[in-house]
Structure 1
Amino acid sequence: MTDTVLDKMGGEPALKRLVEHFYDLVEARPEGAQIVRLHMDGHGIAATREEQFNFLSGFFGGRHYYKERHGHMNVKLIHEHIPILQEDAENWLALMDRALADLGHSGAHIERVRATLRRVALALVNNGDVVGEQSARRDAV
């Protein structure tokens, strides 16, 4: 049996540490300010920490907590109501890269993770063209 990315990272405890450290950076660093604002329009950072762990667990080959709870893992659907600019995606990626590095995650599997996260994050850029009521919100910020 082949180890999953989650296994290679150290399992669920390591993923939990990564998600917590990532959102600590998001809340502390200037490049995270807009990410925080975007999450405040939803359920807040505390809920996002939990949902990010749930999603990434399945995404990295572990238990599909997010799918069990929400019935899908469609990342575009998850974010369709959020106005996401290129800068937001780049900031998210930079903070995730820092979190991975800070916690000592390295190796070929982490480079594949970074490349995959980059493709996904950039695919979510919608330049404010969103579904629902938040479409006008971006202009107000």
Structure 2
Amino acid sequence: MTDTLQKTPYELIGGENALLSLVDRFYFFMDTLPEAAGIRAMHAKSLSGARDKLFKFLSGWLGGPDLFMQQYGHPRLRQRHFPFVIGAAERDQWMLCMNKALNEMPMDAHFRDSLSQALQQLATHMINQYD
């Protein structure tokens, strides 16, 4: 059996099915929480395209199959998000949905906290509007 220290975050989260579940819950919260209305409004009526892209991005970002790269090329996240007004409020809304989704996942609390912190850094990097 592989030691936990040698597993990728993708493996630690539970692989493809767990990641699909995380992304589904993330978009469920985005679609239903009044506190996330700002970021929900940035998305198309159907969230299926965004759901697919986030799953593929996170798969590679977490050390699993690099599905996003294979289909779309380098993520260039800031460039892809630049058309959207993203400030601290939007980052916080995104993180609210992601943390709620992470909290529903069966995983080690330390790993969850580390993953949340890494995602917080990534979300902060997307900010392109400052007060």
Calculate the TM-score normalised by the size of structure 1: 0.82
Report 1:32-43 matches (<5 A): 32-40=36-44
Gapped regions of structure 1 (runs ≥ 5)? 129-141
Q: CA RMSD in A?
A: 1.7
Return the offset for 1:107: 2.8
User: Which is further off, 108-117 or 45-54?
Assistant: 108-117
- Is 1:31 the counterpart of 2:35? The answer is yes
Q: Tell me, in whole angstroms, the C-alpha distance in 2 between the residues paired with 1:102 and 1:124.
A: 25
Q: Tell me, in whole angstroms, the C-alpha distance in 2 between the residues paired with 1:53 and 1:16.
A: 6
Q: Tell me, in whole angstroms, the C-alpha distance in 1 between the residues paired with 2:30 and 2:108.
A: 21
Partner of 2:61: 59
Contact 1:86 1:122 in 2 (8 A): yes
Partner of 2:107: 105
Contact 1:93 1:118 in 2 (8 A): yes
Code of the aligned partner of 1:10: G
**Structure 1 runs of 4+ with >4 Å offset:** none
Partner of 2:71: 69
Q: Percent identity?
A: 27
Q: Tell me, in whole angstroms, the C-alpha distance in 1 between the residues paired with 2:105 and 2:90.
A: 23
Code of the aligned partner of 1:11: G
Contact 1:21 1:99 in 2 (8 A): yes
Gapped regions of structure 2 (runs ≥ 5)? none
1:2-53: CA deviation from partner (whole Å, max 9, x where unpaired): 211010111010000000011011101012211111112xx84110000000
2:115 alignment partner, SS class: helix
Task: Give aligned pairs, total.
Answer: 126
Q: Tell me, in whole angstroms, the C-alpha distance in 2 between the residues paired with 1:72 and 1:81.
A: 18
Contact 1:36 1:45 in 2 (8 A): no
Name which of 4, 7, 11 aligns with 1:7. Answer: 11
Return the offset for 1:120: 1.1
Q: Tell me, in whole angstroms, the C-alpha distance in 1 between the residues paired with 2:39 and 2:108.
A: 25
- Is 1:18 the counterpart of 2:22? The answer is yes
2:106 alignment partner, SS class: coil
Q: Tell me, in whole angstroms, the C-alpha distance in 2 between the residues paired with 1:110 and 1:102.
A: 10
